Amino acid sequence: MQNYKYEQERELSAYPKEYTLDMALANDNIVEYGVVPYNSKRMQLFMYNYTNKIPDKVVIVDYGIDGYPTIRILQNFGDIIIYTQRYFINETPNYCTFYGKHMIEKYRKNGNKLIRDYNLVTFDNKEITTFNELLF
């Protein structure tokens, strides 16, 4: 498992700090930018592949209000799911990795909006939200 973690960290370190929205869209990444996400159908395909035990990997880019984007890799190997994210504190990149046994979808309301959360269930049964999608 450690090898996968280091592979993901190495891949994430190759992304520039100022990874623009245009770059993310050109690379077919899933993007959280403002209220409406981009390429959310790619996450739905990931879940389909997960359900059918087909290995898959997605890159999710989250653009906050300020600072550098948080870039995440969610990878399903069939028997394990690894989720690694790169975020910045000041100018220093930091990495955090979670290992899971399965993915679940949950729905919640925020005012009059319906949101679908895609959560990784870790080996110690904690739920980590990997992506959320505004449905309406």
Could you please report the per-residue DSSP string of 24-85? HHHTT-EEEESSS-BSHHHHHHHHHHHHTT--EEEEEEEE-SSSSPEEEEEEE-SS-EEEEE
What tokens does 128 get? 């980590």
Residues 6+ apart with CB under 8 A from 117: 105, 106, 107, 108, 129, 131, 132
42, 75, 112 from 59: Cα distances, Å: 10, 9, 29
60 neighbors 39 (Cβ within 8 angstroms) = no
Average pLDDT over residues 113-136: 93
- Please say if the pLDDT value at position 23 is more than 70: yes
Q: Is 2 or 83 the better-scoring residue by pLDDT?
A: 83
- Please say if the pLDDT value at position 36 is more than 80: no
Q: What is the pTM of this model?
A: 0.91
pLDDT tier at 15 (50, 70, 90 boundaries)?
very high
Average pLDDT over residues 46-59: 96
Q: What is the pLDDT of residue 2?
A: 60
